[in-house]
Amino acid sequence: MSDLREIWSRLAGLTPARIGLGRAGSGLPTREVLRFGLDHAQARDAVHAPMDAEALAASITELGLSTIPVASQAPDRATYLRRPDLGRRLDPNDLPKLEAVADAADLAVVVADGLSARAVHENAAPLLMAFTPLAKNAEWRLAPVVIARQARVALGDAVGQALKARAVVMLIGERPGLSSPDSLGIYLTLDPKIGRSDAERNCISNVRAAGLTHERAAFKLHWLLARALTLGLSGVNLKDESDHALESAPSAAALPEPGRS
């Protein structure tokens, strides 16, 4: 029995999935019931908590990047959750300020609350810190970083179109699971314009301290964007082979392993 417990204990240490929980009579141990309740509450909080756009803008400004605040057509969180379509549309009042700074940049970056403001608060600035030097080395022209409230992924198409950017990258809080309320998603779309489909995007998921590190996510994003701009395509037609490039990169040994900081 002790050997079996040791096996389950080792397996449980390799995954956040709920395995080897044990039992108390016909039910779960109290500690596991309480842990499930805590994880569920954290997931709900991640969905409903508002994004602190001002604090986020300040942390991005410290990186030497300018920011522009915008919003979707969803007026509040309740409407945003009930009407995904409104989260995909840019507030018309914000269009002029984007068009005023449109300068045919290579890349527009949008930071959006999505379904987890916590994910954005914890991961957006560190990711941009890791990615910005790579973008500068590639001599990509960056538009001001757009911070979007009540936004879905497709809002990036409207932003990228207004800024006349060659590509748009959306950093957005992912739908929280019971073990990942802090997970950030990255969506890359070449030639952004209203009406693009999800098949025309590339996604890098699970960017967080316990998942894909900021450094590795930045490496993958840089690789995908370079290929997208060179080949003139993104989405299902652009295969992500960045892991092979990462293995052969001279600096790969210096990048933290996934799940480690």
- DSSP per-residue string spanning 193-207: -TT--GGGEEEEEEE
- 181 falls in which pLDDT band (50, 70, 90)? confident
Range with the lowest mean pLDDT among 26-40, 41-55, 156-170?
26-40
Q: Where are the domains of the chain?
A: 51-254
C-alpha span between 153 and 256 (Å, rounded): 28
Instruction: Outline where 91-187 has alpha helix (H).
Output: 95-99, 117-137, 155-163
pTM: 0.85
Domain 51-254 superfamily per CATH: Ethanolamine ammonia-lyase light chain (EutC) (3.40.50.11240)
At 73, is the secondary structure helix, strand, or coil? coil
What letter represents residue 51's amino acid? M
Q: Which residue has the higher pLDDT, 1 or 190?
A: 190
Element (H, E) at 68: strand 67-71
- Strands 67-71 and 107-112, how do they pair? unpaired
pLDDT tens per residue across span 10-31:
877 777 777 777 778 888 888 8
User: In sequence order, which residues have a C-beta less than 8 Å from that of residue 180 and are 6 or more positions away?
Assistant: 16, 174, 206, 208, 210, 211
C-alpha span between 87 and 80 (Å, rounded): 6
**Percent residues over pLDDT 90 in the chain:** 68
- Of 94, 106, 187, the residue nearest 143 (C-alpha): 106
